Amino acid sequence: MDFSWTEEQLAYKNAVIKFAKKELNDGIIERDRKGEISLENWRKCAQFGILGLPIPEEYGGSDADVLTVMLAMEGLGYGCRDNGLIFAINAQMWSVQLPILTFGSEEQKQKYLPSLNSGELIGAHGMSEPDSGSDAYSLRTKAEKVDGGYVLNGTKMFVTNATIADMAVVFATVDPSKGRSGITGFIVDSEMDGYKISRHLDKMGLRTSPMAEIILQNCFIPEENRLGPVGAGTSIFTNSMGWERSSILGSQIGAMEYQLETCIRYARERRQFGQPIGKFQSVSNRIADMKVRLETARLLLYKVAWTKQMGKSAVMEAALAKLYLSECFVQSSLDAIRIHGGYGYMTEFEVERDLRDAIGGTIYSGTSDIQRTIIARLSGL
């Protein structure tokens, strides 16, 4: 594995950092308090080229390789303090754009990908339901075949971007008796009759990333909006989760690096009992632990990217990275608060927000326990 970055790759990462610091951080405390996303900042990211990074040029993207995309996400996480915005953007890239690119028809690719890349359209992904979370394939949303298409009925829960989405990749079963083999993907435009946002969902963290419940009630989907063959839903979902689990956390590496630098700077400047608090072993040990977590998590993430770039399966690597990185971000966020003491607990110092945002990483895209189950199974248990 060769993780020696080219000058061009490093220059792009630095450009992303500079862009994010300059354009994306104003008003984050207030937006977090209100639970509002900045659509202006979303469009800025699209115009900069973030959303189209992994998409071929023929569909309005830049056709960047996986390692370059991961490095760019790392830079975005370092420069932008709005974890919710980054999460929402990643949710679209890996759970909407990549499935359409991989499984969509040429007509679907031409219709949706350029507009999703440019920020003209925003996409959502509907798999989870009120009664199906970790057991994703036990979904109850049904797709009845009718002349010219399908009629969908069901409810989708925890849908990121739902309140601002123009379209959604939704999964339903065409035949419950077939189990996983009956699950099929559909592209649903938000203006279609029978598509309704039921309620906004308030969250502990990632509050600037909108989330809601979607109800599909006798929602007619034309045949041309089916994504992939009938019964291919499991393959589509598994593929998108492979990308999401490995890529959606790339920005957290950057966030953890920024977090570490902030703590080191504070430990040098803050004085107690006549010396900088960094001289106390309890503080310096926490910083050392944060550094170890950052570097080991970074290597796991780069290995996933390298494995995918080699065209190999990265199911195990993605599960390892998802589990370890998400848990590391939570622990390092706790350490950051402890290092800052009372100030770390205060909203205005922007330290506590990382902890609230980090906890979500242990749940979305497969909980930590699900990742442990995948790792154990692939280890032969």
User: CB neighbours of 162 closer than 8 A, spacing ≥ 6?
Assistant: 124, 126, 156, 168, 197, 210, 211, 212, 213, 214
Antiparallel, parallel or unpaired: β 211-222 and 149-160: antiparallel
Longest CA span, the chain: 80
Q: How far apart are CA 327 and CA 329, in angstroms?
A: 6
User: CB of 227 within 8 A of CB of 169?
Assistant: yes
User: CB of 54 within 8 A of CB of 66?
Assistant: yes
Question: Which of 244, 257, 317, 352 is the catalytic position?
Answer: 244
Residue with tokens 């989760």: 241
User: CB of 293 within 8 A of CB of 256?
Assistant: yes
> For the chain, how many residues are written?
381
Structure tokens at 169: 């990749």
Q: How far apart are CA 277 and CA 300, in angstroms?
A: 32
Cβ neighbours of 160 (radius 10 Å): 26
What values do phi and psi take at 275, rounded to 5?
-155, 160
- Which residues is 99 bridged to in the sheet? none
Q: How far apart are CA 169 and CA 83, in angstroms?
A: 23
Query: Is residue 244 annotated as a catalytic residue, yes or no?
Result: yes
Structure tokens at 148: 């010219």
Strands (E), the chain: 123-126, 142-146, 149-160, 167-173, 183-189, 195-200, 211-222, 226-227, 271-272, 275-276
User: CB of 372 within 8 A of CB of 362?
Assistant: no
Catalytic residue list? 244
